[in-house]
Every structure is written in structure tokens, then in C-alpha cells.
């Protein structure tokens, strides 16, 4: 089969995977990894979770849908109430309830290995969202993205897997950028000579 003859078959195969919610989730997920502030990371993550909850519902992954809805609520609460100065005591209780809810929904929506990885990724991401330090949050989100990558591979989510790969790249780049900024502050580099 020549490339021109294969084009219609390729378009039909790709169209089966086209999903506006998956595409929007991918965009929000990639943007979250690149955001410089934890509040912006969380707000983009909330948009990502909302989109992927609809995407996974369409794909028939009830655990993925439930875990993303939990993520939306956690992201919005963490963006509003977790600061460098601390967080209210009731938020710890709320996140403990989310932890139990995630475990319960993982069991209630059990779908084998996809449920294991979606549930584990959600639990790691829950810990990440409580962090006041963007760097610690990024490290934990890398772990969560790895769990979601396995889930998305198992359920056949092209957008989810692409989002995880791009998110891992963005989070790693941001993590390294911040580490470099800590090691080599701009003020220690001295003035740039002009010619």
C-alpha cells in the first residue's frame, strides 16, 4: 500500500481516538508542568482533571473518571488554602477524607490493573497538592504522572499517555530550572559585559 492510499485508513483510525476533552486535558496538563508558581500548577491541574474525567468516562474507565474528579476538588482547595505560611487544620482533615474516598472509589470502580495505577497515582498526587514547596510538589507529581502513564497505557488513552509524557518533560524541566536558579542565582553571575 502506497502512502497516499494509506491516508484514508490512517485518518479513520486516528478519528476513533479524537476526543475534545482529551485534547484539552493534554493542553492543561502540559501547561501545568511548565507553570512557575504552585498556585498556577494547581489551577492548570484542575482544568486537566476536569477534562480527563470526561475523557475517561468516554473510554469506560470509571476509576480514572472518579480519581480525576477528586483531583479537581483537591487542586482548587490546595490552590486557595495552602500557602508558604501553612494551611488551615480543617484542610488536613479534608485531604484525609479525600484519601479515604480515593481508596474507596478505587475499590468500588475496580477494573483490575488500571484501577491500581489510577488509585496509586491519585494518592501520590494527594500528597503533592498539600506541599507548600513547588519543588517537592513537582517531585511527587512526577511519581503520580508515572502511575497515570501506566493506567493510560492499559486503558488505551492516547491523549492521557501523551499528556503524561509531556507533563513529565515539563515537570522535569521546571524542576531542573528551579534547581539551577537556586545553585546559580542571577546576582552571583555578575554584570554582562557590553561590547
What pLDDT, in 10s, does the model give residues 55-76? 989 888 888 899 999 999 999 9
Mean pLDDT of 13-28: 78
Residue spans of the domains in the chain: they are 21-177
- Residue 1 pLDDT more than 50? no
pLDDT bracket for residue 12 (50, 70, 90): low
Q: For the chain, give the mean pLDDT.
A: 87
Measured between alpha carbons, how far is 154 from 176 in angstroms, rounded to an integer? 30
Q: What is the pLDDT of residue 145?
A: 94
**pLDDT score at 33:** 82
Tell me the CA distances in angstroms from 118 to 53, 77, 103, 158, 178, one per residue in order. Answer: 12, 21, 10, 16, 28
Select the more confidently predicted residue: 146 or 5.
146
pLDDT given at position 19: 83
Show Cβ contacts of residue 92 under 8 Å, excluding neighbours closer than 6 positions: 130
108-148 pLDDT, tens digit each? 989 899 999 998 999 999 999 999 898 999 999 999 999 99
**Residues 59, 47: Cα–Cα separation, whole Å:** 19
Check if the beta carbon of residue 153 is closer than 8 Å to that of residue 175: no
* b/e map 81-91, b = 16+ CB within 10 Å: ebeeeebeeeb
**Per-residue confidence (pLDDT) for residue 35, from 0 to 100:** 87
Query: What was the pLDDT predicted at 70?
Result: 94
Percent residues over pLDDT 90 in the chain:
54
Residue 195 has pLDDT above 90, yes or no: no
- Asked if residue 189 has pLDDT above 60, the reply is no
Residue spans of alpha helices (H) in the chain: 3-15, 20-34, 38-59, 62-81, 89-108, 113-129, 134-155, 158-183
Q: DSSP letter at 85?
A: T
Residues across the chain = 195
Least confident of 8-17, 90-99, 109-118: 8-17
Amino acid at each position: 500500500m502506497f502512502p497516499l492510499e494509506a491516508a484514508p485508513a490512517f485518518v479513520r483510525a486516528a478519528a476513533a481516538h479524537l476526543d475534545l476533552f482529551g485534547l484539552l486535558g493534554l493542553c492543561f496538563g502540559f501547561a501545568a508542568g511548565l507553570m512557575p508558581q504552585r498556585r498556577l500548577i494547581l489551577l492548570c491541574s484542575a482544568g486537566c482533571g476536569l477534562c480527563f474525567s470526561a475523557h475517561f468516562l468516554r473510554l469506560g474507565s470509571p476509576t480514572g473518571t472518579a480519581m480525576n474528579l477528586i483531583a479537581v476538588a483537591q487542586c482548587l482547595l490546595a490552590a486557595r488554602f495552602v500557602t508558604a505560611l501553612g494551611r488551615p487544620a480543617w484542610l488536613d482533615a479534608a485531604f484525609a477524607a479525600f484519601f479515604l474516598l480515593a481508596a474507596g472509589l478505587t475499590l468500588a470502580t475496580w477494573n483490575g490493573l488500571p484501577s491500581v495505577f489510577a488509585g496509586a497515582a491519585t494518592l501520590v498526587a494527594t500528597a503533592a497538592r498539600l506541599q507548600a514547596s513547588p519543588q517537592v510538589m513537582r517531585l511527587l507529581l512526577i511519581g503520580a504522572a508515572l502511575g497515570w502513564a501506566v493506567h493510560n497505557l492499559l486503558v488505551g488513552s492516547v491523549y492521557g499517555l501523551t499528556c503524561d509524557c509531556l507533563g513529565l518533560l515539563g515537570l522535569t524541566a521546571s524542576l531542573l530550572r528551579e534547581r539551577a536558579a537556586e545553585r546559580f542565582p542571577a546576582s552571583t553571575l555578575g554584570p554582562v559585559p557590553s561590547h
